Chain A
Amino acid sequence: MGALSFFKESIYAEECASRSGYLQSLDARIKVLIIFLMVLCVMLSKDIYAIFSLYLFCLLLSVSSKINILFFLKRTWVFIPLFSLFIALPAIFSIITPGEEIFGFGAAGFRLSITRQGLMSAGIFLIRVLTSVSFVILLTLTTRNTELLQALRIFKVPQLFVMTTGMCYRYIYLFVEIIENTYLAIKSRVGILLPHKKGRYIVAWNIGSLWQRSYYLNHAVYTAMLSRGYTGEPKALHEFKASVLDWLSLLAVLILITLVLYLGDTGI
């Protein structure tokens, strides 16, 4: 059931974020900055080997953060990089990217060839997407969602936005629970098999009912906020403390980025 897997996923992510690994020990703000810089470096780098070395670095970080490597690979290779592969596939052929032929074949009186340049550009695209996605997933796996939201403040995201997003995140669970219970209530009364038309009717009714509940909750929560002194200007408790390890990590990443970009540009 979708709702159940949502809970399982979130519980596992929370569990990963509370392990005593390297990235988990960093200040969330510094961590967000480091990952942002790494993704930027991946975007700017033109050399496939440089990007591949960054990917290896990402895998190293996941191991040092006590994330199961097989789980991490499964999580990062599914969906986005796989779709990117299909998007990048036509680029390897000479009709899209002309160049030095590596392999050619004929099909229906039409000659197609794979070019070195085409293979390289498709490879760069794929590895770039994979590395960027891996870094972002590593960040979400090693940071609690609530800390991640608070860390957004370093990019000058307004506190009101951070607070509203945090509240949405909190109430998603409540609504998922309501949907799950409604589904079970329907199942207990009518069984699983329903005619499609009736099924659609129930889904539509559920959407309407959930909207009504959220509307009521919206008003009730606002009164609860007023009751505790809210006047429209949210204030939050920031407990971030950057340690020597955080600053050293940031410095190391800056050196790595400079090296990767410099070596990639000079073709060493």
Chain B
Amino acid sequence: MKNTIFELQDIWYSYLSKFPALCGIDLRIEQGEKIALVGANGTGKTTLLQLLDGLIFPDKGIIKAFGTRLNEEFFNDHVSARSFRSRVGFVFQNPDVQLFCPTVKEDIVFGPLQLGLSRQEAGKRLNDICEQLNIGHLIERSPHQLSVGEKRKVAIATTLAISSEVMILDEPTAGLDPKTTRQIIDIILQANKKGSTIITATHDLHIIEEIADKIYCLGSNRKITRSGSSRELLKDRVFLEENNLVHVHSHAHRDAVHTHEHEHIDHHH
């Protein structure tokens, strides 16, 4: 029997107590699962991920992680906070937010050092991650000297360096070329193979089948409108169109104009 990692019961969240972002979310995520959160812009995907990482707290409802309720009191206790942070890693949508240190090396060891690892152990993790992701040549560079793809790889490396049991990724392939997208998918799959639970918010329907076994779709009512296996949901084109995940468009091939569905391959915010 699998362990439950996250359990959300009737979660409500609003910004400035005025602008609703999530309205009654129920969700259960088991250990080792690959989950994708999909939905149009502004349906609360990022908010939900931040709630799962304990960065914000719900107005109403209960979030449990590893069987314990997540709230401010939980994070005020250093031992609990450290234990949670060393088990859950978050890859932010904007790598410039995630990479805040002057060099890549300092960014990768930041997490392990804050979580109490010795300098030797942090250095060892740095070497392992660099070898695993093939980013050894980047470690002395400053984040501003990296390409978008390199930034994303390093951002994932900063999370993997914590040895997370759970990886939460917010739009990990947005704005990337096909080759780098492939590399990112491989990194995610490799982490899952090693036992990490993967939770990804994405618009990129091309990658979903690989990085997720299960999809949760957030609708404009800021609720989970549907959930199910990736294969099953991706086949339902009417549902995808209703949720702004595909749209029908016309374009020309030489003299012939034809109409077909168009997927949201790539989105920037």
A interface list, Cβ under 8 A from B: 144-146, 149, 166-167, 169-171, 173-174, 177, 217, 220-221, 223-231, 234-239
Check A173 against B142 for contact (C-beta < 8 Å).
yes
Q: With A235-B113, A237-B122 in contact, is A170–B144 under 8 Å at CB? A: yes
Q: Which residues of B contact A (CB under 8 A)?
A: 50, 53, 55, 78, 81-82, 85-86, 89-90, 92, 94, 96-103, 105-106, 109-111, 113-115, 119, 122-123, 140, 142-144, 158-159, 162
Contacts of B55 in A (CB 8 A): 223, 226-227
Bound Cα distance from A73 to B109, whole angstroms: 39
Contact A237 B97 (CB under 8 A): no
Q: Which residues of A contact B78 (CB under 8 A)?
A: 231
Smallest CB gap from A18: residue in B: B140
A227-B142 contact, Cβ under 8 Å, with A170-B100, A174-B96: no
Which residues in A have their C-beta under 8 angstroms from that of B98? 224
A166 cross-chain contacts in B, Cβ below 8 A:
101-102, 106
Chain A interface helix/strand/loop/mixed = helix
B94→A220 contact, CB < 8 A: yes
Task: Please classify the interface of chain B as helix (H, G, I), strand (E, B), loop, or mixed, using the class held by over half of its residues.
Answer: helix
The residues of B that contact A144 with a CB separation of less than 8 Å are 140
Interchain CA distance A173-B142 in the complex, whole Å: 10
A228 B85 Cβ-Cβ under 8 A: yes
CB of B174 to closest CB in A, whole Å:
16
Q: Are B115 and A229 in contact (CB under 8 A)?
A: yes
Chain B residue at smallest Cβ distance from A220? B97
- B-side contacts of A235, CB under 8 Å: 113-114
Q: Can you list 5 pairs linking A and B with CB atoms under 8 Å apart?
A: A227-B53, A227-B85, A228-B115, A237-B109, A237-B113
With both beta carbons as reference points, the residue of chain A lying nearest to B141 in the complex is identified as: A14
Q: A237-B105, A237-B106 are in contact. Are A224 and B97 (CB under 8 A)?
A: yes
CA distance A235 to B98 in the complex (A): 17
Closest residue of chain A to B161 (Cβ to Cβ) is: A228
CB A78 to nearest CB in B, in angstroms, measures: 26
Q: How far is the CA of A172 from the CA of B143 in the complex (A)?
A: 12
| A residues in contact with B97, CB < 8 Å | 217, 220-221, 223-224
Report A170 CB to chain B, min CB distance, Å: 5
Residue of A145, A167, A217, A225 ringed by the most chain B CB atoms within 10 A: A225
Query: CB-CB < 8 A to A236: which residues of B?
Result: 106, 113
